[in-house]
Every structure is written in structure tokens, then in C-alpha cells.
Amino acid sequence: MSQGNRIDVHHHVIPPDYAKLLHDKGIQPGGIPLPEWSAQQSLRLMDANGIATAILSVSTPGVWFGDAGEARRWARRVNEYAAGVVAERPDRFGMFATLTLPDVDGAIAEANFALDELHADGIVLLANNGGSYLGDPAFERLLGLLDERGAVVFVHPGELPGDPVEGIPSFTADFLLDTTRTAISLILSGAMERYRRVRWILAHAGGFVPYVAHRILLTTLRTEPKWKLAALALDRNRAVAHRMEMFQRFWFDVALSSTPATYPSLLAVADRAKVLYGSDFPFAPKLAVKYMRQEHERADLTPQTRSAIDRSNAERLFPRLAQPIPTNGDDR
């Protein structure tokens, strides 16, 4: 397949020294062995799947291992590494900067540095940080900064703040619950209302969010008087549509979720102009990326919707990618 024109917003970078750190600590992200990664491997995968540009991000566990100083050093190292990859091929790569949560002061400093000095395309935040979800009041100062900056924030799941189930890798279902929990946290805390300039991208089609959206809607009404619940039932079209609008503020990537089974729920809830292509490489190996891309291509989507998911929706988030960027050479 030729280079194509897709923009992949869910594509991971694994700097070599960071990979060694995880190996030394015995960490298997998502309950699976850490895959190999290089920029050349990404480019080959991209060319094989019609991906023009991939926005790089560090996956779970991020850089927090219990010490703020260590987290700040590693955030700077992985961000400068990713920025170097982008500098080599700005036509093929972008980056989401890694922060230091739950260290809020370090996160604010690194966000400013990455956005101003490294020209990051956005920020990646784990869904929970030290067991706290993104709507937690402890993170208000960071969310305020990201709102002031109008930042694009890619929300990636991590390990749940609880023991895993033996025999079930956490990426299989726990990741989806982690994303769902943080989306609910942002809604119930009022953060979605207070920080409306933040563009939130939820990974993996939002976890369970589309499927349980009406259950979440009812949760938001748990303190409402009964007469308001009765009004919801009597005037369903207007009242429900108003409440469901909160889900349309989120952006959703379709990494490992671009299937004929997933799209009906997702597109029934999401704003179609806010659905984005994602591959999840290299944690999704190349055969899995190919399979999901083929499922995406056979899903019952209009040509306009498919084209928007593949590229034009992402161009609104990343205007620099809307115009051709001079290349720095070939992909050898």
C-alpha cells in the first residue's frame, strides 16, 4: 500500500533508554512483554497501512514510579527523544508530550516546556495517576493550564488502581474501564464544563463510554429531584439530546476498535467530526494493525465519514498537518 493519507493519533514511541528502564523494573505494560520499536519500524508499518503521519506518545506506565525527581528527569528525556524523531521527519511524525502526574508542579513545568520549546502537538495523560482520575481536584491547576493553552490532551489508559485478574492481560478489558472511569470523572466533577477549551481524545473508542452513555447520563441525574427525572421521560428528545451533548465534546480514537461491531455504538454517541484513526502500534503488532485496518475499511461507513476518520477530523486538531510539509529525505 502506498503512503496514503491517514493521520494516526494513537501510535507509541519507546525510546531505547526508557525501554531499558522498564525492563530493569520488570514492568510489562498492559500485562504483555514490551515490544521492540524504532522509527523505521513505524515508518514501514505506516506505509503498509496508508498512514501519512503518526502522533507519537509514551504508553503506560508513563514516567511515574513513585519519585517526583525521577519522573521529571524521565519526562524530559522521553519528550526530547520524541521531539528528535519529529524533527527528523515532521511530515511523518508528531508528538504528545509526557507529563509527571501525580506530581502537578512537575507536570505544569513540563507541559509549558514541551509546548513552547519542543512544539509538541499536544499532551498525553494517563487515565489514572496514583489511583486518582483526571477529574480529581488535585489536578485542577494542571487542567486550568491546559485549558488556557487550548491543548489537545490524549487520554491513555493504564493499570487499574487494584489487583489484576490472573490470566487476563489488563489491556483486554481493564484498560477500557480505566478510560471509562476517567471520562465519568471529568463529567461528574464538572471539569468538562470548566475547561471547555481542552480537546480531550479518549483512546480505544472511549472504552465502554459509548455503550454505557445513557447509564452515565442517569448517573449525572442521581441528585436531581424526581420531577426532573419525570420531565426527562416525558420530553425525551429534547432533554436527552441536551444531556448527551456532553459526550460529543470528547474526541475518540478507534485504535483496536475500528470494527463493524464497535462503530454503531460509537457513532450513535460521538460527534462524527470528532472520531479519529489510531493503530496502537507497536503494542498492537503489525498483523493486528493490518486486521483492524481491514475491519475499518469494511465497516458500514459512508465515504465521507471514513475520509473524515482517516484524516480530515485530525487536521482540525493539528492544523500543521493540513498543509504538505517538506520532507527531509526518504524512509530508508
Domain limits for position 54 = 6-209+250-322
Residue 332 is predicted with a pLDDT of: 35
In a domain, 19, yes or no: yes
In a domain, 172, yes or no: yes
Number of domains in the chain: 1
- Report how far residue 277's alpha carbon sits from residue 18's, in angstroms, rounded to the nearest whole number: 26
177-180: Cβ within 8 A, 24+ apart: 177/207, 177/208, 178/127, 178/128, 178/207, 179/127, 179/155, 179/203, 179/204, 179/206, 179/207, 179/209, 180/206, 180/207, 180/208, 180/209, 180/212
In a domain, 79, yes or no: yes
Find cell 448517573 and name the residue: 219
CATH of the domain at 58: 3.20.20.140
In a domain, 229, yes or no: no
In a domain, 220, yes or no: no
| Closest of 176, 212, 180 to residue 30, by C-alpha | 176
In a domain, 118, yes or no: yes
In a domain, 77, yes or no: yes
**Cβ pair 311, 7 in contact under 8 A:** yes
Residue 324 is predicted with a pLDDT of: 62
Q: Using the CB atoms, write b or e for 244-269: b if 16+ within 10 Å.
A: eebbebbbbbbbbbbbeebbebbbeb
What stretches in the chain show pLDDT beneath 50? 1-3, 326-332
pTM of the model: 0.92
Residue 93 is predicted with a pLDDT of: 98
Going through 65-212 in order, the beta strands assigned E by DSSP cover 93-98, 122-126, 128-129, 132-133, 152-156, 199-202
Report how far Cα 75 is from the mean position of its chain's Cα atoms.
18
In a domain, 222, yes or no: no
Structure confidence by residue, pLDDT tens digits, 74-120: 999 999 999 999 999 999 999 999 999 999 999 999 999 999 999 99
